[in-house]
Structure 1
Amino acid sequence: MWIIIDILIAILLFYLINKWLKIITITPYKKLYQVEVRENNLVYRIGAKKAYTGYVVQYYKNGKIMVQEKFEKGLKNEQQLYFYEDGKIQRIETYKKGQLHGEYKIYYPTGNLELERLYYYGSPNGKLIKYHKNGAIKLRASFVNGLLYGTVGSYNENRELIMKVEFRNGEPLSEISDNIEEFYLEINEERKKN
C-alpha cells in the first residue's frame, strides 16, 4: 500500500516539477531530487555546490520511463537510454566526460534498428549504418575523425545498390551518380540530428 502511495506521489511531483522545467532524479535510495543545468552546462542538484553524480530518470505521464541518464561530475557519462511512451527503446547514446563516445543507436517505434554509428569523443568515427523500416540497409558509410572515408553505399528497400561513392578525408573520389544530391542531403540530415 505504501509503495503505491510513494509511486503516486513521485509521479505527481514529477508532473508538477516538469511544469517548471525541472528534472527529477531518483537515486538508488529512491529519494527524489531536482536537478538543473547551470551556465557552465553541468548538471547540479538544486542548491548544491558540487556537480551532480548519479542517475537522472524522467517519466511519461503514464508512469513509464522516458529518459534514463547517468552523470559523473555534472557531465553525461556511460550509456544513456531514451524510450518511446509504450516503453520500447527509442535511442541509446554512450558518453564519456560529456561527449558522445562509443555506440549510438536509434530505433523505429516498431523496435527495428533505424541507425547505428560510432563516436570518438564527440566526433563520428567508424561505421554509420542507416536502415529502412523493413530492416534492409539504406545507407552504409565510414567516418575517420568526423570525415567520410572509404566506400559509401546507398540502397533501396529491396537491398539493391542505388549509388556507390568513394571518399577520402570527406571528399568524393569516384564518379558521382545522379542521386548524389539526395545522398548528400541524407548525410547532412544525419549530422544535424547528432
Structure 2
Amino acid sequence: MYKLFIILEIIFILFSCKRNLVENIVKTYPDGKKALVNFYEESDSAKSVKRQVKYYPNGKIEVEGNFEDGKRVGKWTYYYDSGIKWSEGTFENDLSNGKFTVWYKDGKINYNSEYIDGKPDGTWIFYDETEKPVKEVVFEKGNKKSEKKLE
C-alpha cells in the first residue's frame, strides 16, 4: 500500500509541474487565419514567449519552436507550405547547435549537417533526390576543411 501511495504521489507531482501555456495570437491574415502565435506560461505576469508557431496563409505551420529568455532553444522545425518538413534542428542560446536535417519538397533528405555555437562543424552529407549520398563536406569551427564527391 505504501508503494502505491508513493507511485501515485510521484504521478501527481509530475502532472502538477506541467506548464500551462496560454495562446496569444499576435498576427492574423486578412481572412482571419492565424499568422503568428506566441505562447507564454499562465503564471508568467511578464508574458515571456515560451513557444512560437508561425503559419502560412493556407493554415499550415511554417515554423515552430521554443524560446527561453527571448532566445531560440531546443528543437525548431521549419515546413514547406505543403506541410512537409523543410528542416529541423536544435538551438542553444539562439545559436544552431547539434544535428540538423534538411529535406527536399518531396520529403526525401537533402542533407544532414552539424553546428556548434552557430557555426558549421563536423561532417555534412548531401543526398540526391533518391537519397543516395553524393557529397561529403567536413567543417571545423565554421571553416570548410574538405569536400569530396561520393560514389
Q: Please report the TM-score for the alignment, with normalisation by the length of structure 1.
A: 0.58
**Gapped runs of 5+ residues in structure 1?**
1-27, 29-53, 179-194
**Rounded Cα–Cα distance in structure 1 between residues aligned with 2:117 and 2:61:** 28
Which is helix-richer, 1 or 2?
1
Instruction: Specify the code of the residue in structure 1 equivalent to 2:80.
Output: Y
Residue number in structure 2 paired with 1:157: 129
Alignment of 1:61 with 2:50, yes or no, is: no
Count of residue pairs the alignment pairs up = 124
Alignment of 1:42-191 (within 5 A): 55-70=24-39, 73=46, 75=48, 77-174=49-146, 176-177=147-148
Contact 2:25 2:34 in 1 (8 A): no
Secondary structure of 1:173's partner? Answer: strand
Encode CA deviations 1:157-181: one digit per residue, 9 max, x unaligned: 111222102222222333x248xxx
Post-superposition, which runs of at least 4 consecutive aligned residues in structure 1 deviate over 6 A?
A: none
* Greater RCO (CA < 8 Å, at least 6 residues apart): 2
Shift of the alpha carbon at 1:74? 6.4
Instruction: Specify the code of the residue in structure 2 equivalent to 1:62.
Output: D
Which is strand-richer, 1 or 2?
2
| Higher mean C-alpha displacement, 142-151 vs 130-139 | 142-151
**Rounded Cα–Cα distance in structure 2 between residues aligned with 1:84 and 1:173:** 38
Instruction: Specify the code of the residue in structure 1 equivalent to 2:52.
Output: Q
**Rounded Cα–Cα distance in structure 2 between residues aligned with 1:63 and 1:55:** 14
**Gapped runs of 5+ residues in structure 2?**
1-21
Shift of the alpha carbon at 1:96? 0.8
Residue number in structure 2 paired with 1:13: none
**Rounded Cα–Cα distance in structure 1 between residues aligned with 2:26 and 2:142:** 38
Encode CA deviations 1:46-68: one digit per residue, 9 max, x unaligned: xxxxxxxx834322121211110
